[in-house]
Amino acid sequence: MRRPIDAPGAIEFRRMRPEDLDRVVDIERGGFRHPWSRDLLARELGHAWSNILLAIERDAALQEQVLGYVVFWLVHDEVHILNIATAVEARRRGVGRALMLEAHASGKARGATVATLEVRRSNVPAIELYRSLGYRQVGVRPNYYQEEGEDAIVMLLEV
Ligand SMILES: CC(C)(COP(=O)(O)OP(=O)(O)OC[C@H]1O[C@@H](n2cnc3c(N)ncnc32)[C@H](O)[C@@H]1OP(=O)(O)O)[C@@H](O)C(=O)NCCC(=O)NCCS
């Protein structure tokens, strides 16, 4: 059985680098019906204001395995979460929660007081993750996801 990531030393975080693009694109494609393209991810990587953190586990040979990532912007006192995904095979081990907590901590260390995000109304796993962290619904953006005409739920957490 794989270790839960709350085992000591089981998970590390680091900033994404250009050589991580292939793996991040794979995880992105496994996570979304409308995944971010490789170009968009590469552009995001080049934005000084964007933060892309990877969750890493080491295998028996101490090689890095990327388990998931979170993309966030720090705008004034707000951490805005743009994207988060965990590789399919690493889900329900606490990776998503750990990435969110790391994003909050990183923002807080630089003066953030709140975290915000938008999520599809139908995305139960993500909404449950955010609720479990204390996020509350503060609004709805009707038809925000235009391909399906789906609403976005706007959520906020004081960090
Ligand atoms: C949402 C997502 C990032 C969660 O990642 P994860 O690493 O599996 O989440 P965790 O293991 O940290 O789960 C933390 C909590 O979230 C909730 N949760 C996660 N997956 C869930 C699911 N499938 N159903 C219900 N609740 C779920 C639970 O409360 C869980 O705690 P528990 O396992 O103790 O019950 C992952 O499902 C994913 O990558 N989805 C596709 C991409 C996506 O939709 N991203 C969100 C965009 S807004």
Q: What is the pLDDT of residues 129-152, one digit of tens each?
A: 999 999 999 999 999 999 899 999
Instruction: Spot the catalytic one: 64, 78, 118, 150.
Output: 118
111: region left, alpha or beta (phi > 0 left; psi from -120 to 50 alpha): left
Structural tokens at position 5: 């990531």
Given pLDDT bands bounded at 50, 70 and 90, which one contains residue 97? very high
pLDDT exceeds cutoff 70 at 4: no
Q: Which residues contact 52 (CB under 8 A, 6 or more apart)?
A: 15, 16, 24, 44, 45, 69, 70, 71
Distance 91 CA to ligand 1 centre (A): 7
Distance 61 CA to ligand 1 centre (A): 28
Query: The pTM is what?
Result: 0.95
Q: Tens digits of per-residue pLDDT, 46-93?
A: 999 999 999 999 988 999 999 999 999 999 999 999 999 999 999 999
Residue with tokens 């909050």, as numbered in its chain: 104
Q: Is 69 a catalytic residue?
A: no
pLDDT for 118 equals 98
